[in-house]
Amino acid sequence: MLPWHDIDFALLDMDGTILDRYFDDYFWEEHVPKRYAMGKKISYEKARRKLLAAYKAEEKTLNWTDVDYWSNRLGLDIVAMKEEIRDQVRIHPGVETFLQFLRDQQKAVILVTNAHPKTVKIKLEQTLLLPYFDTVLCSSDVGLPKEEIGFWREAESVLQFNKARSVLVDDNEDVLLAAHTFGIKHLLHKHHASSRAPKEAAGIFPALDYFTQLLP
């Protein structure tokens, strides 16, 4: 249970945190390799191995989630491909109830994500969650991924949040470590980021399984 009387700002990640990461896992690990294999006339298995290695090399960089970068590199219209299956985007259980609670309590609700703005637009339009957020900040707006402490320094400057009176919920421990070093007081690790993946083992930060756990 969080001390909500000491919290004014709720900083929430998108993919894997408020949204089921299964969509992204399926999209990048199955949907894109299938289309890439067809275009290059190679086997799905070969395409998948090649793309997973390419993704891995760009982790923790802005390119990792840059749909324009991958469109150019792979010769595919990544945004159009996401639009094709946008109806498969799912919200984690309890998220809408939690967001409404934050609005009722007059907390500042901020989406902080490594996702590209074009991806954010597709997903928030599909889920109808945009009205719950006061602000959306993407790592590309800052020029650094959330795994970098510099992201949080810039975010504080842009968003004017008080890190001593803020909570950050994220499914990525590297992001939480950077935020911890920066000084955000309340940090929660969203477990079970994908509904189709095994539950994660306990980590450094307090685990959150369902957002209803945060409701008084």
Q: Using one digit for the tens of pLDDT, what is the confidence trace for 5-34?
A: 999 999 999 999 999 999 999 999 999 999
24 is catalytic: no
- Tell me what percent of the residues of the chain surpass a pLDDT of 70: 100
For residue 199, the 8-state DSSP code is: P
Q: Is residue 145 predicted with pLDDT exceeding 90?
A: yes
Which residue in 6, 68, 77, 209 is the catalytic one?
Answer: 6
Question: How many CA atoms does the CB half-sphere of 92 hold within 13 Å?
Answer: 29
CATH number corresponding to 4-20+90-214: 3.40.50.1000
Q: Is residue 131 predicted with pLDDT exceeding 90?
A: yes
Q: Is residue 45 predicted with pLDDT exceeding 90?
A: yes
Q: Is residue 198 predicted with pLDDT exceeding 90?
A: no
What pTM did the predictor assign? Answer: 0.96
The ranges assigned to domains in the chain are 4-20+90-214, 23-87
Residue 102 has a pLDDT of: 98
CA 4 and chain centroid, separation = 23
pLDDT mean over 150-173: 97
Q: Is residue 200 predicted with pLDDT exceeding 90?
A: no
Q: Which residues contact 214 (CB under 8 A, 6 or more apart)?
A: 1, 2, 98, 101, 188, 208
Residue 183 has a pLDDT of: 98
Q: Which residues contact 203 (CB under 8 A, 6 or more apart)?
A: 173, 189
